[in-house]
Chains A and B, each alone.
Chain A
Amino acid sequence: MDGASQPKPDWKIGVDIGGTFMDFCALETVSGRVASLKVLTTPDDPGAELLDGLCLLAEREGLDPAYVTRFVHGTTVGINTIIQRKGAKLALITNAGFEDVIELARLRMPDMYSLFCHRPDPLIARDMVFGVPVRMRADGSEALAPDTASVAAAARQAQAAGAEGVIVALLHSWRDTSQEASVKAMIEAATPGMFVFTSSEVWPVIREYERTSTAILNGYVHPRVAGYLTALESRLDAQGVPAKAMLTRSNGGLMSAGQGRRDCVSMLLSGTASGVIGASWLARQAGEARVLTLDIGGTSADFALIVDGEVQYGTDEQVGEFPLHIPSVSVSSIGIGGGSIATLGALGVLRVGPESAGSNPGPACYGRGGTDATVTDALAVCGWLGHSEMAYGQLRMNVDLARQAVGVLADQLGRSIEETAQAIIDIAVSEMFVEVEKLCSRAGVDLRDFALMPFGGGGPMLGAFLAQELGMSRVIAPRRPGVVSALGGLVSDLRGDFIRTVYAPLEDATLPQLEQDFAALADEGRAWLDTQGFDGTADLRLSADMRYAGQSFEIEVALSPDWLNAVDQIAAAFHETHKRIYDFEDPDGKIELVNLRLSALGGAPKPTFPVSQATQEQATADRHVPVWINGWCDVPIYDRAQLGGGAVFDGPAIVAQEDTTFAVPPGASAHVDAHLNIHLSLVEQSNV
């Protein structure tokens, strides 16, 4: 390209990988062109789909890799390694007498009414756990120093048994990391070639099970993730992409690919996290500060809350069967999706899920051999689906097959196929209703002043029905619901999280330590941003995990560094936060400060997306199709690509686009905003 007279193009690309597709969201900032696409994943050669996508972007949009200035990637290679249990063979070196910390976990088990309940097998079998004589006390003093001989013997035994790496997790390393560090050095000297992670370098938090299991997850995925990232970087290099690859993280931020090789655990939940980040960015554009996001796939539905413009964080998210204890964007999940199967139980009561037809064979209507009636089949029977191509032309629906599958249940029930299909949809929605209600009561929010934002392939199909069930009156459907996670990566900042466990009463005597810890955390944060290649001004956010003395759990309270010399201001912030979350405060209660946290953010200039002119105008329907809404009615179909800013229409309606179908129920009124989001206003339904 001869760029002497023309400004050079400037491409920013976000890429996120899902179960079936790799999603691309590309923005060319000079012309304001936005492109999104999906390519099928290549499970046998993870990363190869990247080239397919770049080629397609070149073909369709004229992308020249030489002008890619930002490349952000979210990968599932880590989480898949855990779910498939195909990670590294690890050994654990820990204190003698405490070898079973990972097997006992926190004792409590899921499914507690069943006599067959059990915990997942740990990722490290008991014969690969080595207790060595070493002990630190709770105050950080050393009761028993590690001795080289027994550590080296354990390491050699581990290596002989086939360990690729070692996790070192010792009691009270949250207080002082030196004991773990010296054990690590002993192992490295005795058995070069095995990689070693200590629990305190991965995430130095108090609570031995949580810290140990987080370090194990990190080591377990490390070889695969590092290998994947090396391949990714060389592929980008080969394509002539000058931008350094950035990775999305579970905390909704970014890090460099180099960081990701060692800090593997921080990317495990990046897919769902960047979905919520993308959704929050879209919501801000659409002027919504309080949003429930809904991402429905084939086997599950994910929900998250955005409160006053902020995504919510938690430290007890789930990765496969294991809890993950690093700060992560909080997302709730339920095993109900488009592929969930309907069955009949006692007294002819219809149930949906948890069994799923998955993506193979998938719903009956996909024509891949599935015969069970799924939620997608029910939507097809009722006419909400099946009028256009799906998944960028890679799927065609066969409504007859859907009718056959649902018909089997209808016969058993003695009902019509349509009534049965409607019941399946209602039940699937009510299953999600339970999960959202739990989420809201935990968070203490009232959904009535929230808007629901559905995305993903299935979110828009059921989103408006779920909003009605929840008594919500507003739904926003973004223009490109299939690539929200990829977009999320594109609009994220670098973000590193750092923690110091303080565990001291909040009183004047503790303040010097807090100031010292804050200074150390700030240095750590700035240095981290430096190594990610960031040269702007660091945005440092301080918070503390605090509780009333006697409580066994903490809440995170945002702090200003200015308050570190004033107990009163810290206490006031804590009382106020406690009141907001738990509905009560105890102004005379003693406060304990457990952790000091710092997030270091390195902001990138935010891309601006084109804005369309919005003049109100009645939308024109493509055609009408029959849809079952307590009887067959004629319902208009709108083509999403034709809906410009300002377009208005009323439900019932169907909006079809290449990657999803948006079902608009009766009584809804829709308008399209300048960013091409569709906003629905719903009337309250009763006695449906």
Chain B
Amino acid sequence: MSDKMTLQVLANHARAAAENMAHTLHRTAHSAFVKETQDFTVLLMDRIGDTFAVPMDLGATWYPGLSHGPAIEMVDDYRPGDVAFTNDPYSGHVATHTPDTHLWRPIFDGDDIVAFAGGHIHNTDMGGAVPASLSRSLTEIHQEGIRFPPMKLVNEGVFDPQILRIMETNVRKPALNIGDIKALAGALSTGERKVQAMISRFGKTGFLQGVSALMDQSEAQARDILRAIPDGEYVFADYADEDSDEANPCRLKLTLRITGDSAVLDFTGSDPQLASSLNVPSGGNPRHTILLVGVYYVLYTLNPRMLLNTGMTRPFTCIAPEGTVLNPVEPAAVGMRSLTCARLRSVIFGAFSQAIPDRMPAAPAGNNCIVNVMTRDERTQKTVIAAVNPVVGGGGGMPHRDGSNGSGADAAYLKNTPIEITETEVPVEFVKYGLAQDSGGAGYWRGGLATEMAFRVFSPDTRITARNRDRSFFRPWGTLGGHAAGLSDMMINPGTPQARPLGNVDTAILEPGDVLEIRSAGGGGRGDPLQRPAERVARDVLGGYVSVDAARHEYGVVITDGVVDEDATTALRASMTPHTQHFHFGPERDGYEAQWTDTAYDLLTQILADLPIHWRFFTKTEIFRRMKGRKGPEGVTAAFAEVCERFPALPHAAPRKEAAE
């Protein structure tokens, strides 16, 4: 039954199997990471490990195009009832940081493997230097916990007790890990049973042909989309605020080349591999799922009927040179790759925004900050560690509506915790949880507002971590005349004499009575704000989304006593100059790029690419230190010359020829 006409029947059975696995895992898992945050995936794979079905309701959005092939090949002699696993980002490049533990189970029909059921869970902790195994400051994979290269975890239905003991010995919350791993193994058995039911429903040949037709269909859908996009080269770069504790920006650059129904994503010109855990371990696989997540969002947004499986990755080829932030070599740390991945997605959105301006939104806030608090409960005299809330910003202005407020776009899967629950369980008191006025980029379609959260603590030495904080310097950009959004911020005791801004740091130590306020970035605006109907601006002012001041300065709308002053508005709008470039980045990036022009940064990455990998980040930092008062490629050349002089051991090759400005 590989009949195209009724392929949807097989597609529905495959999806039902995947949903079934997801619900089984969600129902039987132990940890909040899986149950509440839903940081897990389940998938069905073909015989070589390419994904052909994923759930659409539950779990994370990153892996529908994942291939487990390289890891599957590293294990021999599969038997019915076996389950293999790995969490090592450097063995097969399937796992992407150590907490993510991937499992897969061969599904047999007679003596033949006809499919694999697989998935991942994010373990609360895998051991290593810090609780939860994740910190931006870590520099080596070995600090990020115990690693298991691909190996069998279950032999013909029996868990290997030695592996479990090794894991229990090395991690901080063994019961949670083992509970979740067993729940995932249970979900894989469900997947096997459902695939076997599909084989009896469709026949072995019908099943195998159908699976391959599902991937062909997804590929065809993706190619249809690409074909409708004008051929061309679309270049875009964006920055993470800090590359490490050294605190220089990290640039990601993409050259998107669309030719007919295929596309190349060339990331040459992105930062070198970093001495922090912000590296993204793609292994240089040209279709690695982690490089393509932004593409999935684009495809699905353009065709909501997009079938999500490995087939959709076929028209795409990624180039991520070795030793760069998007293809680090061992032992680079990778734990906080999710921060870089958020920026990677916005780089992809920016490139597509140039290719199909009519159909893409402006930048989402792009800082999916997860706030944790460790404090002492004075009532019970116990230490409490708890996730407080994600602080996520709004979506970018869309082609036909304002960006969603508070969260959205590529961060829509995150869930908050009710304030009443947090206050009951954790000794903190919220002062504020809501939307931040004027934080959405102005536009014909306004960007979504930022989230603002403030809470008070009561115990000395209360520690806060705010993982994935970013966008405190480089704003989410606007498009088509729309403005960039408000920046993220973190501050202790705002509005008091003890106020202490924290910049982009992601940790803080608080004293009793201190209030910590965290604000996300907003979403970028889309289209000319001077064209936004004054009535809609007035409604935004009435609702408090936009202040009277911003209505005047950003939108040219004069509001007096809550009413639009038509004449004054017409006059003011006529006197204002709309922003005419495709992107609007805001003064911070414009200022930064006056020094670090595109050519200058290109030259920097070329210089670094010619160095041995372990010299690159060091040299980047040293060049940055010497850029004061310098700018452009000449500045980089001069700074590099100084670095060479200071460090004669630097194994630089022939001096770089000047790049044309």
Q: Tell me if A442 and B6 are in contact (CB < 8 A).
A: no
- In the complex, per-residue mask of B387-408: 1 if CB is within 8 Å of any chain A CB, else 0: 0001010011010010011111
Q: Which residues of B contact A98 (CB under 8 A)?
A: 419, 430, 432-434
Instruction: Report Cα–Cα, A687/B8, bound state, in Å.
Output: 16
Q: Which of B224, B409, B429 meets A346, CB within 8 Å? A: B224
Q: Tell me if A441 and B544 are in contact (CB < 8 A).
A: no
> What's the nearest-Cβ distance from chain A to residue B219, in Å?
9
Q: Tell me if B35 and A551 are in contact (CB < 8 A).
A: yes
List which A93-150 residues lie within 8 A (CB) of chain B: 97-101, 103-104, 106-109, 111-119, 125-127, 137-138, 143
Indicate whether B421 reaches chain A with its CB closer than 8 angstroms: yes
Indicate whether A583 reaches chain B with its CB closer than 8 angstroms: yes
Q: Tell me if B361 and A109 are in contact (CB < 8 A).
A: no
Q: Which residues of A contact B398 (CB under 8 A)?
A: 115-116
Q: Tell me if B408 and A117 are in contact (CB < 8 A).
A: yes
- Among the stretches A188-196, A396-404, A424-432, the one at the interface with B is A424-432
Indicate whether B203 reaches chain A with its CB closer than 8 angstroms: yes
Q: Which residues of B contact A138 (CB under 8 A)?
A: 420, 423-424
Q: Which residues of B contact A126 (CB under 8 A)?
A: 543-545
Indicate whether B216 reaches chain A with its CB closer than 8 angstroms: yes
Instruction: Report Cα–Cα, A431/B542, bound state, in Å.
Output: 44
Q: Tell me if B202 and A687 are in contact (CB < 8 A).
A: yes
Q: Tell me if B420 and A117 are in contact (CB < 8 A).
A: no
- In the complex, per-residue mask of A375-396: 1 if CB is within 8 Å of any chain B CB, else 0: 0000000000000000000000
- Given A174-B420, A208-B419, the answer on whether A347 and B20 have CB atoms closer than 8 Å is no
Q: Tell me if B420 and A112 are in contact (CB < 8 A).
A: no
> What's the nearest-Cβ distance from chain B to residue A562, in Å?
29
Q: Which residues of B contact A119 (CB under 8 A)?
A: 404
Q: Which of A208, A552, A581, A583 meets B32, CB within 8 Å? A: A552
Q: Tell me if A108 and B15 are in contact (CB < 8 A).
A: no
Q: Tell me if B421 and A207 are in contact (CB < 8 A).
A: yes
List which A401-451 residues lie within 8 A (CB) of chain B: 413, 415, 419-420, 423, 426-427, 430-431, 433-434, 437-438, 440-442, 444
Q: Tell me if B5 and A104 are in contact (CB < 8 A).
A: no
Q: Tell me if A206 and B418 are in contact (CB < 8 A).
A: yes
Indicate whether B296 reaches chain A with its CB closer than 8 angstroms: yes
Indicate whether A351 reaches chain B with its CB closer than 8 angstroms: yes
List which B48-85 residues lie within 8 A (CB) of chain A: 56-57, 61
- Given A113-B297, A423-B5, A434-B16, the answer on whether A207 and B27 have CB atoms closer than 8 Å is no
Q: Which of B56, B305, B454 meets A351, CB within 8 Å? A: B305
Indicate whether B125 reaches chain A with its CB closer than 8 angstroms: no
Q: Which residues of A contact B563 (CB under 8 A)?
A: none
Q: Which of B23, B434, B451 meets A97, CB within 8 Å? A: B434
Indicate whether B611 reaches chain A with its CB closer than 8 angstroms: no
Q: Which residues of B contact A552 (CB under 8 A)?
A: 32, 35-36, 417, 421
Q: Which residues of B contact A444 (CB under 8 A)?
A: 27
Query: Which interface class (under 10, 10 to 19, 20 to 34, 35 or more) fits B?
Result: 35 or more
Q: A172: nearest residue on chain B (CB-CB)?
A: B420
- Given A350-B5, A441-B20, the answer on whether A113 and B308 have CB atoms closer than 8 Å is yes
- Given A126-B543, A206-B418, A347-B4, the answer on whether A437 and B202 have CB atoms closer than 8 Å is no
> What's the nearest-Cβ distance from chain A to residue B255, in Å?
22
Q: Tell me if A415 and B224 are in contact (CB < 8 A).
A: no
Q: B299: nearest residue on chain A (CB-CB)?
A: A113
Q: Tell me if B543 and A127 are in contact (CB < 8 A).
A: yes
> What's the nearest-Cβ distance from chain B to residue A284, in Å?
28
- Given A98-B434, A113-B308, A345-B305, the answer on whether A108 and B224 have CB atoms closer than 8 Å is no
Q: Which residues of B contact A125 (CB under 8 A)?
A: 543
Instruction: Report Cα–Cα, A503/B56, bound state, in Å.
Output: 34
Indicate whether B615 reaches chain A with its CB closer than 8 angstroms: no
> What's the nearest-Cβ distance from chain B to residue A536, in Å?
38
Instruction: Report Cα–Cα, A444/B390, bound state, in Å.
Output: 31
Q: Which residues of A contact B23 (CB under 8 A)?
A: 438, 441-442
Q: Which residues of B contact A115 (CB under 8 A)?
A: 297-298, 301, 349, 360-361, 364, 395-396, 398, 409-410
Q: Which residues of A contact B297 (CB under 8 A)?
A: 113-115
Instruction: Report Cα–Cα, A561/B1, bound state, in Å.
Output: 58
Q: Tell me if B412 and A112 are in contact (CB < 8 A).
A: yes
Q: Which residues of B contact A347 (CB under 8 A)?
A: 4, 7, 216-217, 220
> What's the nearest-Cβ distance from chain A to residue B307, in Å?
9
Q: Which of B1, B13, B396, B414 meets A433, CB within 8 Å? A: B13
Indicate whether B201 reaches chain A with its CB closer than 8 angstroms: yes
Indicate whether B435 reaches chain A with its CB closer than 8 angstroms: yes
Q: Tell me if B418 and A208 are in contact (CB < 8 A).
A: yes
Q: Which residues of B contact A207 (CB under 8 A)?
A: 418, 420-421
Indicate whether B431 reaches chain A with its CB closer than 8 angstroms: yes
Q: Tell me if B7 and A349 are in contact (CB < 8 A).
A: yes
- In the complex, per-residue mask of B285-323: 1 if CB is within 8 Å of any chain A CB, else 0: 000000000001110110011101000000000000000
Q: Which residues of A contact B201 (CB under 8 A)?
A: 686-688
Q: Tell me if B4 and A349 are in contact (CB < 8 A).
A: yes
Q: Tell me if A583 and B27 are in contact (CB < 8 A).
A: yes
Q: A108: nearest residue on chain B (CB-CB)?
A: B415
Instruction: Report Cα–Cα, A210/B395, bound state, in Å.
Output: 24
Instruction: Report Cα–Cα, A113/B221, bound state, in Å.
Output: 16
Q: Which of B24, B36, B451 meets A104, CB within 8 Å? A: B451
Indicate whether A550 reaches chain B with its CB closer than 8 angstroms: yes
- Given A100-B406, A441-B23, the answer on whether A349 and B413 have CB atoms closer than 8 Å is no
Indicate whether A651 reaches chain B with its CB closer than 8 angstroms: no
Q: Tell me if B392 and A107 are in contact (CB < 8 A).
A: yes
- In the complex, per-residue mask of A167-182: 1 if CB is within 8 Å of any chain B CB, else 0: 0000110100000000
Q: Which of A100, A352, A440 meets B8, CB within 8 Å? A: A352
Instruction: Report Cα–Cα, A503/B341, bound state, in Å.
Output: 39
Q: Tell me if B414 and A108 are in contact (CB < 8 A).
A: yes
Q: B562: nearest residue on chain A (CB-CB)?
A: A127
Instruction: Report Cα–Cα, A440/B19, bound state, in Å.
Output: 10
Q: Which residues of A contact B36 (CB under 8 A)?
A: 552-553
Indicate whether A582 reaches chain B with its CB closer than 8 angstroms: yes
Indicate whether B576 reaches chain A with its CB closer than 8 angstroms: no
- Given A208-B420, A349-B7, the answer on whether A437 and B19 have CB atoms closer than 8 Å is yes
Q: Which of A108, A350, A413, A441 meets B19, CB within 8 Å? A: A441
Q: Which of B1, B220, B408 meets A109, CB within 8 Å? A: B408
Indicate whether B179 reaches chain A with its CB closer than 8 angstroms: yes
Indicate whether A322 reaches chain B with its CB closer than 8 angstroms: no
Q: Which residues of A contact B421 (CB under 8 A)?
A: 206-207, 552
> What's the nearest-Cβ distance from chain B to residue A467, in Å?
14
Q: Tell me if B407 and A438 are in contact (CB < 8 A).
A: no
Instruction: Report Cα–Cα, A393/B432, bound state, in Å.
Output: 61
**Residue picked from A112, A351, A415, A550, most chain B C-beta under 10 Å:** A112
Instruction: Report Cα–Cα, A415/B409, bound state, in Å.
Output: 41
Q: B187: nearest residue on chain A (CB-CB)?
A: A441
Q: Which of A103, A114, A143, A442 meets B304, CB within 8 Å? A: A114
Q: Tell me if B8 and A582 are in contact (CB < 8 A).
A: no
Q: Tell me if B435 and A103 are in contact (CB < 8 A).
A: yes
Q: B17: nearest residue on chain A (CB-CB)?
A: A437
Q: Besides A206-B421, A351-B8, 4 other CB < 8 A contacts?
A: A108-B413, A116-B401, A437-B19, A687-B206
Q: 12 A-B Cβ contacts within 8 A?
A: A104-B435, A104-B451, A107-B390, A108-B407, A108-B414, A111-B304, A115-B364, A346-B217, A415-B5, A584-B28, A687-B1, A688-B201
Cβ-closest 6 pairs across A and B:
A100-B434, A126-B543, A441-B23, A430-B12, A437-B16, A138-B423
Residues of chain A at the chain B interface (Cβ within 8 Å): 97-101, 103-104, 106-109, 111-119, 125-127, 137-138, 143, 171-172, 174, 206-210, 345-352, 413, 415, 419-420, 423, 426-427, 430-431, 433-434, 437-438, 440-442, 444, 471, 503, 550-553, 581-584, 686-688
